[in-house]
């Protein structure tokens, strides 16, 4: 994936997370119109009134108990009989907490937890994107520059692979391009493809230009033959048969002075038109698939 795509995705994610955080915060202050009291406020007022009555009763009770204790202390000091404690003093009964209050607290907890997690996620993602953006990367994945090894090693791989070398990171096939076909190739192929061809190789996208299946090689015919609908291409990806609208698509490549081959998978050059046959290669044996027409 290209750097621009990563940045675009990062921005989109940050915007979405920001919107979610904003909505979460806004929900907490939701009211039903100017001057209207929310359910939470009304509930708190009711509780406050209840608490006030309970507080007055508790205060009266505690004052009565304090007076009785003082009288007892005085009686003990003077040797007189203790006064009896008034059994009618009402104890404040325990009341269960209002479920509404508990609900509000739980809601507040989840709101705050959500906002905290969102903020942490956004911060982490932004930091990771920033580091990834600045981090130097010499080996890009598919969609960028993909190093595939030394030219001589690739040519050896083509020979040992029976005429075909597969570069998985570049999702490409590499085959030999014959030097004798170069004069014709220079009149047909764009300049950005010629550097590889002048060095004896051609880089072909594995994706069939018909409907996108991965095209396998056929070791007997020495062609590429798509199993999906029977499109056939010669060893340098020029169309020989089937429903494909053109030859196999290609990627440009650069070859350094030390022979390192780097395929630019960010650029795809459409395959040559039907009828182009710069090498004149015919099937060298039985085909792997019958030529399709659909």
Q: Looking at 170, 197, 204, 226, which residue binds ligand FES (CB under 6 A)?
A: 226
User: How many residues form the binding site for ligand FES (CB under 6 A)?
Assistant: 13
Q: Mask 234-273, x = binds ligand FES (CB under 6 A)?
A: --------xxx-----------------------------
Q: At what angle do helices 39-78 and 99-134 cross, to 10 degrees?
A: 120
Instruction: Return the residue of 21, 231, 234, 265 that touches ligand FES, per CB under 6 A.
Output: 231
Residue 187 Cβ vs ligand FES, minimum distance, rounded to whole Å: 28
Beta bridge partners of 172: 167, 205
Radius of gyration in angstroms for the set of CA atoms belonging to the chain, rounded to a whole number: 41
Measured from the CB atom, the residue of 243 and 270 that comes closer to ligand FES is 243
Point out which residues pair with 145 in neighbouring strands: 264
CB atoms within 10 A of CB 100: 15
Instruction: List, as one string, the DSSP characters of 105-121.
Output: HHHHHHHHHHHHHHHHH
Q: In terms of CB distance, is 119 or 268 closer to ligand FES?
A: 268
- Picking from 176, 249, 156, the residue whose alpha carbon sits closest to that of residue 210 is 249
For ligand FES, the binding residues in 165-204 under the rule CB under 6 A are none
Residues 140-169 within binding reach of ligand FES (CB under 6 A): none
Smallest distance, Å, CB 233 to ligand FES?
10
Check residue 222 and give left, alpha or beta (phi > 0: left; psi -120 to 50: alpha).
left
Give the position of tokens 């994107």. 129
47/291 with CB nearer ligand FES: 291
Does the protein bind ligand FES through residue 211 (CB under 6 A)?
yes
**Binder of ligand FES out of 167, 210, 218, 249 (CB under 6 A):** 210
Return the structure tokens found at 65: 């108990």
Q: Are 142 and 265 in contact (CB under 8 A)?
A: yes
Calpha distance 153→286 (Å, rounded): 29
Half-sphere exposure of 248 (CA within 13 A, CB side): 32
- In the complex, least distance from residue 221 CB atom to ligand FES, rounded to whole angstroms: 15
Residue whose CB is less far from ligand FES, 21 or 205: 205
In the list 158, 185, 208, 276, the residue contacting ligand FES (rule: CB under 6 A) is 208
CB 103, min distance to ligand FES, A = 59
Which positions touch ligand FES (CB under 6 A)? Answer: 208, 210-213, 226, 228-231, 242-244
């Amino acid at each position: 994936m290209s750097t621009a795509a990563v940045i675009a995705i990062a921005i989109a994610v940050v915007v979405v997370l920001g919107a979610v955080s904003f909505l979460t915060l806004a929900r907490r202050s939701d009211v039903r119109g100017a001057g209207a009291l929310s359910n939470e406020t009304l509930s708190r007022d009711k509780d406050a009134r209840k608490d006030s009555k309970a507080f007055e009763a508790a205060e009266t009770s505690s004052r009565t108990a304090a007076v009785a204790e003082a009288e007892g202390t005085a009686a003990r000091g003077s040797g007189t009989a203790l006064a009896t404690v008034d059994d009618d003093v009402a104890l404040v009964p325990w009341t269960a907490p209002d479920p509404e209050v508990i609900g509000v607290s739980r809601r507040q907890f989840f709101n705050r937890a959500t906002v905290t997690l969102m903020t942490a996620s956004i911060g982490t993602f932004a930091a990771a994107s920033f580091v990834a953006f600045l981090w130097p990367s010499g080996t890009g994945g598919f969609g960028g520059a993909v190093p595939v090894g030394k030219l001589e090693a690739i040519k050896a791989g083509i020979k040992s692979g029976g005429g075909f070398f597969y570069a998985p990171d570049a999702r490409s096939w590499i085959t030999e391009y014959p030097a004798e076909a170069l004069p014709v190739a220079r009149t047909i192929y764009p300049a950005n493809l010629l550097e590889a061809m002048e060095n004896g190789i051609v880089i072909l996208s594995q994706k069939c230009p018909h409907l996108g299946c991965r095209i396998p090689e056929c070791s007997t015919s020495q062609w590429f033959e798509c199993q999906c609908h029977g499109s056939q291409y010669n060893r340098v990806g020029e169309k020989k048969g089937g429903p494909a609208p053109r030859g196999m698509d290609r990627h440009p490549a650069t070859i350094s002075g030390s022979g390192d081959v780097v395929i630019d998978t960010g650029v795809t050059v459409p395959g040559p038109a039907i009828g182009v046959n710069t090498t004149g290669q015919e099937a060298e044996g039985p085909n792997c698939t019958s030529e399709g027409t659909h």
